[in-house]
Structure 1
Amino acid sequence: MKHQFWFLFVVVLFLSSCNDDNKLRMEAQKKEAQKNEIIFININKGWVFQSAPINAVAENSMSFWPQWRTFMDELSQKPKSSISAFQKKSKVLTKKALELKDNIPGQYNNPAIKSRISILITNVSLLDMYLHLTQIPHKKVVKQVAEINLELIALQREMDKIDVKSKIPVEAGESEMLQMIRDTARAIPSSMPPSQNTPRVE
């Protein structure tokens, strides 16, 4: 009889312990779900990109720079369903940003534009990294979106500067002078003819 009593006592104790564990697990899951909901709401609210071109030059460049057009299109499509949707989008944005670097049109293929694109890639990559951390720092994600917007504006202003400079008429001889500045080897010939005023040694 004593053995039955102890067996019954152990079973009740075990079931009670299991119930407590289940309650704790359910509470932890509930807290985690609430935390993820707050993260999602904050990211969703802050995910506002400057996806429309800010000037005519940036808009026109979409017709001959397909990578630029694709990147801006991706920015305009906001994820809606979940944090994982934002994670997928950030991965796609990183890929599209990298494609900008490898396909710069001739008129924009200069150090200023390359530098702006590199900074943009870095910022998009940071956004992707933050979104794939175990504990997503949602404030940093929102701040990173703002940083990307600033870099987008800077890149488009740089494109506009290049366009304005290209429309300034070139004065006679200016293009030759600029070419000589760029190519110093051409500017100073290696074998100069002797000067007429050089005294001759007999």
Structure 2
Amino acid sequence: MKYKAALFLILIFVIQSCQNENEKRLAENAKEAKKNAKIFNNINKAWIFIDEPINEVSEENIKTWAEWRDFIKEIGDKPRKTIGAFQKKSTAISKKAMALNNSIPSQFDQPAIKSRISVLITKIKMMDLFIHLSQIPDDKVAFLIGEINKELVSLERQMDKIVERSKIPKEQGEEDFLRMLDTTRAIPNASSVPIDPNIPRVE
């Protein structure tokens, strides 16, 4: 009889422990769900990219530069419903941004544009990295979205400057002067040319 009573008490204890564990697990799940909902809402609220051209040059690029058009379209399509959708979109944006570096139109194939594209890519990659962490720092993702928008504006303004500069007629002889400034075409320095010891020298 004592054995049965002890067994019954152990059984009650086990059931009670399981109930406590379940309640604890449910409470933790609810807390995690609430936290994830907050992260999603913060990212959803911050996820606004400048996908409209800010000047005529950028608008023209959408028509003629396929990779720029694809990139602008990608950042303009806002994901919905889940963090997973934002993660997929972030990866897609990163791929489209990388493609910009491989296909810069000759008019914009200049250090000022290349450096801005590199900075833009770096910030997009950082956003993609943060949004894929197990504990997503939503404040950092939101901050980087703002930074990406700044880089987009800077890039589009630089493209506009290049186009405006190309419209200014060059003065006579300016082309020759610019060619003279080009160090890649300079005559090598005599001191850097090796001297042949067999050439006769005047003492």
CA distance in 1, matches of 2:31, 2:7: 36
Structure-1 residue corresponding to 2:59: 59
**Identity rate, percent:** 45
Shift of 1:175: 1.1
Shift of 1:180: 2.1
| Cα gap change, 1:187 to 1:79, in 2 (>3 Å) | same
| Cα gap change, 1:169 to 1:88, in 2 (>3 Å) | same
Matched, 1:166 2:150: no
Q: Which residue identity does 1:57 align to in structure 2?
A: V
Q: CA RMSD in A?
A: 1.6
Shift of 1:174: 1.2
Structure-2 residue corresponding to 1:112: 112
* TM-score, length of structure 1 as denominator length: 0.90
CA distance in 1, matches of 2:187, 2:167: 27
Structure-2 residue corresponding to 1:195: none
CA distance in 2, matches of 1:16, 1:183: 83
Shift of 1:183: 4.8
Shift of 1:161: 0.5
CA distance in 1, matches of 2:184, 2:16: 88
CA contact 1:180–1:187 (8 Å) conserved in 2: no
Shift of 1:55: 0.3
Unaligned runs of 5+ in 1: 191-202
Shift of 1:113: 0.3
CA distance in 2, matches of 1:148, 1:82: 22
* Structure 1 stretches of 4+ moved >3 Å: 183-190
| Cα gap change, 1:189 to 1:17, in 2 (>3 Å) | closer
Structure-1 residue corresponding to 2:87: 87
CA contact 1:181–1:187 (8 Å) conserved in 2: no
* TM-score, length of structure 2 as denominator length: 0.90
Q: Cα deviation per residue 1:46-104 (whole Å; 9 max; x = unaligned)? A: 11111101000011011221111100001110011111111111111111111101110
Unaligned runs of 5+ in 2: 191-203
Q: Cα deviation per residue 1:145-190 (whole Å; 9 max; x = unaligned)? A: 0000000000000000100111010122211221222156457898
| Length, aligned pairs only | 190
| Cα gap change, 1:184 to 1:97, in 2 (>3 Å) | closer
Q: Which residue identity does 1:163 align to in structure 2?
A: V
SS of 2:145's equivalent?
A: helix
Q: Which residue identity does 2:172 align to in structure 1?
A: A
Matched, 1:3 2:9: no
Structure-2 residue corresponding to 1:149: 149
Structure-2 residue corresponding to 1:73: 73
CA distance in 1, matches of 2:19, 2:71: 52
Q: Which residue identity does 2:20 align to in structure 1?
A: D
CA contact 1:47–1:142 (8 Å) conserved in 2: yes
